[in-house]
Amino acid sequence: MRSVIWEANEQGIRDVVAQQVLLAQQIINAGLVPIIEPEVSIDSPEKAQAEIILNRELMSQLDNLHPNHYVMLKLTLPEQPNLYADTISHPNVIRVVALSGGFPLMKACEKLAENDGIIASFSRVLTNDLYANQPQSEFDAALAETIDPIYQASRT
């Protein structure tokens, strides 16, 4: 259910969030917990503004959920630290996880550490140094070098 946001377009972001929540409701009705994933592109020149709009629209939609309907959110790490604090503490949100979004490992970890209550879901950056037919020892070393800073950043 990933949608990519490129601009700080209020109506477009409102529509994306409404669509994601509509699909989330179908998943909730099937007895599962959906992951709502409106990704703001790290390459957007309007990233910070788009994130402010996104946060507002998420809160609006979350406030309309039934009290027993729960979701997870998967969001790009914001430009403004702790921008999503209200979203994280919303009673319908089980967990907020962060996309690395294409940031290099150390930049993603730095931004993650700035955001209380968000944990990593860094699939892109996690697999950057892994490849097919890699010797097990190199695979293990590359994975450890990636996992440790992600773990440390998630603990803050």
Catalytic residue from among 37, 39, 51, 57: 37
Angle ∠(4,52,58) on CA atoms, nearest 5 = 70
Tokens, residue 111: 């931004």
DSSP labels, 38-99: EEEPTT-TTHHHHHHHHHHHHHHHHHTS-TT--EEEEEEPPSSTTTTHHHHT-TTEEEEEEE
Q: How far is CA 152 from CA 54, 86, 119, 149, in A?
A: 27, 23, 10, 5
Angle ∠(73,66,53) on CA atoms, nearest 5 = 45
Instruction: State yes or no: is 107 an active-site residue.
Output: no
Instruction: State yes or no: is 79 an active-site residue.
Output: no
Catalytic residue from among 46, 74, 79, 107: 74
Give the residue numbers annotated as catalytic, written as ranges: 37, 74
